[in-house]
Amino acid sequence: MENPSYNTDIVRSFVTWSLVWGLVAVLVGVIVSFQMINPDLNFGPYLTFGRLRPIHTNAGIYGWGVGTIFATFLYMVQRLCKQPLWSDKLAKFQLWFFNATIIASAVTLLLGYTTSKEYHEMEWPIDIMVVILWVVFAVNIIMTIINRKEEQMYISLWYMMAALIGVAILYLVNAAAVPASLFKSYSAYAGTNDANVHWWFGHNAVAMALTAPPLAMFYYFLPKSTGVPIYSHRLSIIAFWSLIFMYLWTGAHHLLWTPVPDWVQTLAMAFSIMLIAPSWGSVINGYLSMNGQWHQMKENYLVKFLILGITFYGLQTLQGPMQSIRSFSAFIHYTDWVPAHIHMGTMGWVSMISYACIYYLVTRISGRDLYSVPLANLHFWLALVGQLLWTVPLWVAGVLQAGMWNAMNEDGSLTYTFMETMVEMYPFWWARGIAGVIFMIGVLIFIYNIYMTVRKKESAPSTATAEGRA
Amino acid sequence: MLEKKPVLFMLLATAAILVGTIITMAMPFLWVNTDADRIETVTPYTPIQQEGRDIYIREGCNNCHTQTVRPLVAEVLRYGDYSKSGEFVYDRPFLWGSRRTGPDLARLGGKYPDAWHYKHMESPRSMVPQTNMPDYPWLNDTALDPESIRNKMETLGFPYTEEQIKELNGKTEMDAMVAYLQKLGSDIPWRKVAETTIVGDLTNPFPGDASAIAAGKDVYSSNCAACHGDNLEGMIGPALTDMGMEDADLYQVIHSGIPDGGMPGFSNLGSTKLWQLVNFINAEK
Amino acid sequence: MDWASILYLGITFGLFVIFALIVVRTYSRKRKDENEVAKFRMLDDD
Ligand code: HEM
């Protein structure tokens, strides 16, 4: 059973709330995807596409993504340090404040209080809430690490600490603004500078919130699920330093061909390509950790989620560098190709890993068997099919539209008007809407399974659950 | 060692993060928005334009529209002259966007007459039936608040006159939006520069050809009907029936537009489509 | 070669040296056990 001094209640609460916000994110995602097919689904002024889309992205990143980060980090840090949480009170405050922040974000975004900067739409009062939240979280984790009983710091702790520092720097710099009123501010930077600062933030939010934390989770929960250690701790160390060094140079790959200085774009392109190495360092480490254990892919549902997750991470970090090449960017930038890239990352990588972590945490903390392993397998397939049916058609759509935008007649005039290219997207958008529904059904089944597991009356603690084996 | 000293470790990690940050994020400030990329003709937003911009942000138009034209052939043809750094010095925040669900708006100013925008914003599908742009009729219902706009201009440090603030009385959010849209990208005189002259003599390659007329009808529906009506009966632009223009003159008007009258030029359709249009319109009389 | 190019080259070279040092340090035989022990220790706590 549990070591009583570890605080697992807080982990359980964060799991619960990240599930709530995860469901909200997916639900709003489905709504906006149908709004793109039928504009009659816009109910102005509050429920229009322009206001709902940021709620989808922010609920996804800050509610589901960061909520899961909070849950898993608070769990991992105690285990890896063999040390209870530094402050339970602070953690409780963090939980309360986290939900207050997410709710405040959703309400203000609906009301139209927005900075318009992608993934940083919340206005300045909420920025302040986010900063407080992050400081509280970081202090608790760092103090626990400093007080730790286990001398060795496992690689997951490295990624956790890097994420804590990285997010803090990024968020603060990009948030700089001059308030004009309670819910309206103007960026401290103008035009091209603002764009460059923003995408330095934007891309590294990907690094520090959607890459480093899931890697920390992967490195922890994979060995815990399989029962064998990772292939090489030293390889993970090399990959770590290279990754956090290189990521910060690449923001301008979102701004290729724009007025941002050329040399910044060129550096971004070069470093993006070099990023393949440290990214694949982790992928290969993950695969080699499965040596002699591949049979677990069949027997252990947790391993399925984890290995598929790291596989999509590998694909993502090949596709990303490709998109960072000027000539390729000229073609696919601004098309549906990019949302498809995003969703392989969020639905295929971040969510797959998070699902495994949550299954593990819930069974572990409650000391019970999962309510239904077949349902978990069904969830796996719905998540996988949902994601692929989302991304593959939209890659095709992106290439199709890019081709039409660039098509020229012999006399040097354009072949298609904008609308002629845009109406070609509708069938693909239908596929995406349906894919979203499939993915959402998976999430509902997931939540049901978790709920039935913790609800179950006869609590027969079992050792099999510990390793997630069915 | 390092692996056992978290504070030292975090300092090193911070250093690793800061190298790329300083070089690619901080250093560009030395060049961007300085004399190096200044454009004299670019002016700050007026009160009504700035308010329109803030409404654009509030409604999240940037989730469907970009505002930067890249120096690529097809893109310059479609939208206009490519964007320059100096054009954005007064943009807080930048609104370049990342996805073109709708067309780029960086060069929108002066493309359409105001009347087109009022109608389009209220109900995009009444002009472009298959668009997925939402209707924004409620912008007509909200009056502007001159004092809050004055406060914004002060915060931004943009120049304004009492006259301009007084003029805001009785104006709606829709007026502000249209004023902003008409300012976009028009600080440099690119339209004048981009005017192309027709070389060679203009002779109708397919006079009276039925298939050209049929093709012309399609081109008309997707490019002209929004302003001249489905049956050439006229709306924002005049009726095109019974004009009695020579083929060559008609070609000239469609090709170059009537910039001061709100008729956009359609040179980027290419000569084949333009001649099809000419044949279609002149067959309707 | 102008100064800018020399600077670029120097910085690039410097980065490679740092990288090489990290690799050498991490993979030195002396530290093998020290650097790999964490992966076993993390499995203990169950
Ligand atoms: C080596 C790693 C990666 C590189 C070099 C990379 C590169 C890129 C590039 C160039 C774009 C912009 C595409 C365009 O607008 O034309 C992009 C967009 C994006 N990527 Fe990646 N990517 C990588 C990994 C990831 C991962 C792991 C995720 C995790 C989810 C991710 C999430 C995103 C998101 C959210 C965007 C959208 C930004 C927007 O709104 O425009 N990327 N990536």
The per-residue pLDDT for range A122-161, each reduced to its tens digit, is 999 999 999 999 999 999 999 999 999 888 899 999 999 9
Is the pLDDT at A467 greater than 50? The verdict is no
Average pLDDT in the A369-377 region?
Answer: 96
CATH number of B210-283: 1.10.760.10
- The residues of chain B that CATH labels 1.10.760.10 are 47-190, 210-283
Model confidence at A49: pLDDT above 90? yes
Rounded to the nearest 10 degrees, what angle do helices A191-209 and A233-247 cross at?
Answer: 170
What pLDDT shows up at residue A469? Answer: 39
Q: Is the Cβ atom of A321 under 6 angstroms away from ligand 1? A: yes
Q: Which residues pair with A177 in a beta bridge?
A: A187
**pTM across the whole model:** 0.93
| Phi, psi angles (nearest 5°) of residue B182 | -75, -15
What percent of chain A stands above pLDDT 90? 93
B269: pLDDT strictly greater than 70: yes
Chain A residues whose CB is inside 8 A of the C36 CB are: 232-234
Average pLDDT of A65-81? 97
Across the interface, whether the CB atoms of C38 and A233 are under 8 A apart is answered yes
Asked if the C-beta of A135 comes within 8 angstroms of chain B's C-beta atoms, the answer is no
> Which residues from chain C sit within 8 angstroms of residue A363, using beta carbons?
none
Tokens of A42: 């816009």
DSSP-derived secondary structure letter, B235: S
**Helix spans in B84-207 (H):** 114-122, 124-127, 146-156, 162-167, 173-183, 190-194
ipTM confidence: 0.94
> Region A30-51: what's the mean pLDDT?
96
For residues A10-20, give the mean pLDDT: 97
pLDDT level of residue B226 (50, 70, 90 thresholds): confident
Percent of chain B with pLDDT over 70: 97
pLDDT above 90 covers a percentage of chain B that reads: 72
Low-confidence winner among A132-146, A390-404, C29-43 (lowest mean pLDDT): C29-43
Which domains, from first to last, does chain A contain? Answer: 1-210 (1.20.210.10), 238-470 (1.20.210.10)
Average per-residue pLDDT in chain A?
94
pLDDT class for B204, splitting at 50, 70, 90? Answer: confident
User: According to the model, what pLDDT value does residue A461 have?
Assistant: 52
Q: pLDDT by residue (tens digit) across B104-145?
A: 999 999 899 999 999 999 999 999 999 999 999 999 999 999
pLDDT higher than 90, residue B12:
yes
Scanning every residue of chain C, which has its alpha carbon at the shortest distance from the alpha carbon of B19? C15
Average pLDDT over residues A451-467: 64
Segment B34-62, tens digit of pLDDT: 988 999 999 999 999 999 999 999 999 99
Taking the CA of residue B233 and the nearest CA in chain A, the distance in Å comes to 23
Confidence grade of residue C20 (pLDDT, cut at 50, 70, 90): very high
Quote the DSSP letter at residue B22.
Answer: I
Q: Of A102, A126, A201, A209, nearest to A160 (Cα)? A: A209
What are the residues facing B99 on neighbouring strands?
A: A334
The answer to whether residue A468 scores a pLDDT higher than 50 is no
Which residues are within 8 A (CB) of B31 and not within 5 positions of it... i.e. 6 or more apart? A261, B37
pLDDT > 80? residue A464: no
Model confidence pLDDT, tens digit, residues B84-106: 999 999 999 999 999 999 999 99
Average pLDDT score over residue span A81-107: 96
- Answer whether residue B200 shows pLDDT above 90: no
Enumerate chain A positions whose Cβ falls within 8 A of a Cβ in C.
Answer: 79-80, 82, 150, 152-156, 220, 223-224, 227, 229-230, 232-234, 237-238, 241-242, 466
A249 and B23 in contact by Cβ < 8 A?
A: yes
CA distance A347 to A436: 10
Structure confidence at residue A190 (pLDDT) = 96
pLDDT tens string A247-264 = 999 999 999 999 999 999
* pLDDT above 80 for A1: no
* pLDDT given for residue A119 in this prediction: 95
Percent pLDDT > 70 in chain A is 96
Ordered by start, the domain boundaries in chain C are 3-45
Q: Which two tokens stand for residue B180?
A: 């902003």
Q: B47-190 sits in which CATH class?
A: mainly alpha
Residue A466 in this model has a pLDDT that exceeds 60: no
Distance CA B197, CA A413 (A): 15
Of A444, A357, A467, A367, nearest to A76 by C-alpha is: A357
Q: How confident is the model at residue B285 (pLDDT cuts 50, 70, 90)?
A: low
Ligand 1 atom nearest A211 alpha carbon? 27
- Residue B193 tokens, joined: 């520069």
Reported as a single tens digit per residue, the pLDDT across A296-332 is 999 999 999 999 999 999 999 999 999 999 999 999 9
Among A182-186, A355-359, A404-408, B266-270, the minimum mean pLDDT is found in B266-270
- Using 50, 70 and 90 to split pLDDT, how confident is the model at C46? low
Q: Cβ neighbours of residue A360 under 8 Å, at least 6 residues apart?
A: A221, A224, A225, A302, A468
How far, in whole angstroms, is CA A276 from its chain's centroid? Answer: 19
Confidence (pLDDT) at A134: 97
Looking at residue A465, its pLDDT comes to: 45
A234 closest CB neighbour out of C36, C43, C45: C36
SS3 annotation, chain A:
CCCCCCCCHHHHHHHHHHHHHHHHHHHHHHHHHHHCCCHHHCECCCECHHHHHHHHHHHHHHHHHHHHHHHHHHHHHHHHHCCCCCCHHHHHHHHHHHHHHHHHHHHHHHCCCCCCCCCCCCCHHHHHHHHHHHHHHHHHHHHHHHCCCCCCCCHHHHHHHHHHHHHHHHHHHHHCEEEEECCEEEECCCHHHHHHHHHHHHHHHHHHHCCHHHHHHHHHHHHHHHCCCCCCHHHHHHHHHHHHHHHCCCHHHHCCCCCCCHHHHHHHHHHHHHCHHHHHHHHHHHHHHCCCCCCHHHHCHHHHHHHHHHHHHHHHHHHHHHHCCHHHHHHHCECCHHHHHHHHHHHHHHHHHHHHHHHHHHHHHHCCCCCCHHHHHHHHHHHHHHHHHHHHHHHHHHHHHHHHHHCECCCCCECCCHHHHHHHHHHHHHHHHHHHHHHHHHHHHHHHHHHHHHHCCCCCCCCHHHHCCC
Query: Is the per-residue pLDDT at C4 higher than 80?
Result: yes
Which of these, A4, A55, A199, A17, lies nearest to A117 by C-alpha position?
Answer: A199
Q: Which ligand 1 atom sits nearest the alpha carbon of residue A256?
A: 16
Region B271-276: mean pLDDT is 90
Query: What pairs with residue A185 in β-bridges?
Result: A179
A53 close to ligand 1 (CB < 6 Angstrom): no
Residue B165 clears pLDDT 70, i.e. is over it: yes
